[in-house]
Amino acid sequence: MFEPKSELLTVPRADRTETAAHDSVRVLMYSHDTYGLGHLTRTLRIARAIRERFPNAATLILSGSPVAPYMPLPPGADLVKLPSVQKSGANEYRARDLDVDFKRIKAMRREVIRSTAEAFRPDLFLVDNVPAGMKGEILPTLEMLRTECPETKIVLDLRDILDESELIRANWQEHGTYELFEKYYDRILVFGDPNVFDAVEAYGLPADRTVHVGYVSPNGHHVAPSGTTIESAALPNGTGSNGAKRPRKVLLTAGGGGDGYEFLSDALQGLCQLARTQISAPAESLLEVEVVTGPLMNEADRKSLSELAQSCGASLLEFVPDLPQRMAGADLVVAMAGYNTCCELLSHARAALLLPRVAPRLEQLIRARALEDRGLWKVLPPGRTSSLDIALAAAEILRDGPTITEENLPAMDGLARMTDELALLCSGLGGRPRGSELVTSIKRNKKTPARPPKRSGGETTASGIFSRATEVLRGPREAFMWYWPGAVAGART
């Protein structure tokens, strides 16, 4: 096993004085990233929000995502790449690329995480979604920080829904997770709305240190969905720039794409069936279908989808940097129900049809149904996701019009309220809560009466339209497209 030399990695405590003199606060972020893009995307959005709110923050990100080195980082941030792993079965992992056994790769990751924290000596340690880290890999780091850096604030951030309540409670009870909350964590931030799903009640989270902060808007703030691009914002629904009727735009997206082939194949076949039935219909009834596979789909599956798309006149892309804006320009988005995808839909789309994944956990199905109950979108349950089911559901939504309106949105200011919490918790950040009458953290968990579902209608506000100019991941588009492996457009030549 790799044995680091402590004299090279341990930074003297006197370095704290140097840090204060330079008015810099150290933020260490851990994201295990065993699969997909969700954790990395949310981590980068959090890092960017911290830097924008607290210019004195120096952020170091620990990530195992294979694409992390290609992602643009916010100013003042850097990356420590952990060896990548991926799931090989239920709660089992293996090295993604290295030809070494999992015990060795886990030991490597554990040592890198601990030695980085020991050298960096963070003022704030943010842990993404897994209290003990992948297979307990951050436990030595948590213990080291509590004993050697007791002034470090340790914060766990969770997505809105993890899995079925009974399974999470049993798992946490078995692995001593509730004791970890009490021993190590100063605050638990849930990126969700308790009016949609109360994580404190469902999972038994400690109410004295848990705060629901709202969902994470891709742009970092609450955005009212418009369902139109900025360029066409003033045009009536269903018309082009010359006033002529245009085809209805449908966008299919599978997030990172690693597990999206079957979903995209079924959805694309269903839309092809729908398009064929309307081949002689007026232009406004025709479909214009765009498929975004995601960069993690394997080449064989992407090729198969490309052939299917060509057969029915759809366009297919591997990756686009402005996916939320494309959602805004679509009449319908067909997607799975991952956390980031749902946040992007809530912030930008006008109507959505969701086919949630149900394995290896029910997280997506629970989230999709909870938000469906607010009248936000239509969900096809397991067993009713054939191409015909998809075609019929899509036709119904396109007929009835927009469903995602500002009136039935949950709280979408997760990043702003997160930085409020960090300002209260970590005085060295130098920020102040945004509201002059900011209530105490724990009171925010009090639920308010849910608004009645609104299934249709709703006008878009001008402020909602023009506030969506920022892309999902800020930074030079050219650089982002160039450094993304296998990008289909925008690469330098």
Q: How far apart are CA 219 and CA 161, in angstroms?
A: 21
Where do the domains of the chain lie? Answer: 6-212, 230-408
Contact 453, 374 (CB under 8 A): yes
pLDDT score at 6? 37
Question: Whose CA is closest to 294, among 85, 486, 63?
Answer: 486
pLDDT at residue number 222:
42
pLDDT at 144: 98
CATH of 6-212, one of 2.60.40.1120, 3.40.50.1820, 3.40.50.300, 3.40.50.2000: 3.40.50.2000
Rounded to a whole number of angstroms, the CA Rg of the chain reads 23
pLDDT of residue 476: 34
What does each of the 493 residues of the chain score in pLDDT, given as a tens digit?
444 433 333 334 434 444 343 568 999 999 987 666 778 889 999 999 999 999 999 999 999 988 888 888 999 999 999 999 887 766 778 888 888 998 999 999 999 999 999 999 999 999 999 999 999 999 999 999 999 999 999 999 999 999 999 999 999 999 999 999 999 999 999 999 999 999 999 999 999 999 999 999 987 544 444 433 323 332 334 443 334 467 899 999 988 788 889 999 999 999 988 887 765 455 456 889 999 998 888 899 999 999 999 998 899 999 888 888 899 999 999 999 999 999 999 999 999 999 998 988 899 999 999 999 999 999 998 888 899 999 999 999 999 988 898 888 999 999 999 999 999 999 888 654 444 333 334 444 555 544 444 333 333 332 232 232 223 223 333 322 222 223 223 333 2
The answer to pTM > 0.75 is yes
Q: How many CA atoms lie within 13 A of 353 on its CB side?
A: 29
Contact between residue 324 and residue 218 where contact means Cβ atoms under 8 Å apart: yes
Using CA atoms, how far apart are residues 322 and 288, in angstroms rounded to an integer?
18
Domains 6-212 and 230-408 share a fold: yes
User: In 10 A of CB 347, how many CB atoms?
Assistant: 28
Model confidence pLDDT, tens digit, residues 35-50: 667 788 899 999 999 9
Q: What is the pLDDT of residues 156-179, one digit of tens each?
A: 999 999 999 999 999 999 999 999
Residue 443: predicted pLDDT = 43
CB 431 within 8 A of CB 422: yes
Domain 230-408, classified CATH 3.40.50.2000, yes or no:
yes
Q: Which region holds residue 238: left if phi is over 0, alpha if psi is between -120 and 50, else beta?
A: left
**Is the Cβ–Cβ distance between 345 and 372 less than 8 Å?**
no
d(CA 111, CA 127): 17
Would you give the distance in Å from CA 43 to the centre of its chain?
A: 8
